[in-house]
């Protein structure tokens, strides 16, 4: 508990998490407002469409936040003090991942319900009720995806240790790499089915295409297993990062 308290103080006493949090919520809610305002009156906005900003762009900012939580310590060498206080290293890094993950979970819930609520206010005649399990996954599930994405980003930050490198890798991967994989002849589509962010999109969106929303995932997994798959990848990356952190100099 002491380690969690220490990591919480570290996180909330710097400016970058607060700015990233505001940008995450602003992008998520802002895109919902844009879509609600731009959708023709004769068309109906869908629940998944209201989450477009969060699932496509908010998640990238959350990963930047998580990576900075680690790499900033390496940049200013405060990580040495942390490792001197916790020689085994892993408990301190796990505590950091837990704190960042919980903050990202809260941000995801605020972004998800904020986007949905604003869209419902702007378009009261559209069918935006949370009537099915998939509707609830669209909105409430965004927090879970943010949390596991943050854990993954913490692992990347531990492995790379440099802010610019970690952020560049995360942004390029989330915004471009998975889509470009489909261009590989013959095997591209098969590989894309198992790419982590494509898979977790199955949990958020399901299989049905949504008007004005994110494209459906082509993952063969069910939504529940898609979330479990993404969570497993995040945890595996974190375990690998912990092993690497133990073996090298701070």
Residues 230-240 have pLDDT tens digits of: 999 999 999 99
Domain ranges, residue 111: 2-247
Task: Identify the burial level of 59 via C-beta atoms within 10 angstroms of its C-beta, where 0-12 means exposed, 13-18 middle and 19 or more buried.
Answer: buried
Check residue 115 and report its DSSP letter.
H
Going by C-alpha positions, the residue among 100, 104, 115, 114 that lies closest to residue 214 is 115
Top pLDDT among 104 and 39 is at 104
Residues 160-185 have pLDDT tens digits of: 999 999 999 999 998 888 888 888 98
Determine the average pLDDT of the residues in 5-20. Answer: 89
Residues 114-146 have pLDDT tens digits of: 999 999 999 888 888 888 888 898 899 999 999
* Angle between the N-to-C axes of helices 59-75 and 15-38, in degrees from 0 to 180, rounded to the nearest 10: 170
Number of domains observed in the structure of the chain = 1
pLDDT at 10 exceeding the cut of 60: yes
- The pTM score is 0.92
Q: Which two tokens stand for residue 39?
A: 């959708």
Residues 94-110 have pLDDT tens digits of: 999 999 999 999 999 99
């Amino acid at each position: 508990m002491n380690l969690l308290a220490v990591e919480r103080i570290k996180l909330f006493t710097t400016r970058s998490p607060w700015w990233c949090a505001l940008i995450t919520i602003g992008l998520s809610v802002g895109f919902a407002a844009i879509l609600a305002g731009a959708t023709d009156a004769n068309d109906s906005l869908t629940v998944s469409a209201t989450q477009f900003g969060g699932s496509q762009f908010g998640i990238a900012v959350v990963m930047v936040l998580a990576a900075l939580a680690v790499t900033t310590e390496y940049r200013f060498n405060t990580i040495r003090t942390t490792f001197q206080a916790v020689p085994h290293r892993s408990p301190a890094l796990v505590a950091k991942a837990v704190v960042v993950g919980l903050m990202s979970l809260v941000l995801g819930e605020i972004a998800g319900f904020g986007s949905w609520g604003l869209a419902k206010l702007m378009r009261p005649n559209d069918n935006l009720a949370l009537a099915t399990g998939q509707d609830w996954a669209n909105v409430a599930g965004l927090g879970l995806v943010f949390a596991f994405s943050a854990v993954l980003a913490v692992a990347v930050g531990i492995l790379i240790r440099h802010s610019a490198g970690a952020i560049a890798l995360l942004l390029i991967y989330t915004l471009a790499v998975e889509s470009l994989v489909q261009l590989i002849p013959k095997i591209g589509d098969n590989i894309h089915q198992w790419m982590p962010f494509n898979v977790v999109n199955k949990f958020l969106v399901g299989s049905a295409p949504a008007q004005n929303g994110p494209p459906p995932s082509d993952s063969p997994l069910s939504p529940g297993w898609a979330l479990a798959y993404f969570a497993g990848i995040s945890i595996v990356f974190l375990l690998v990062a912990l092993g690497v952190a133990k073996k090298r100099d701070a």
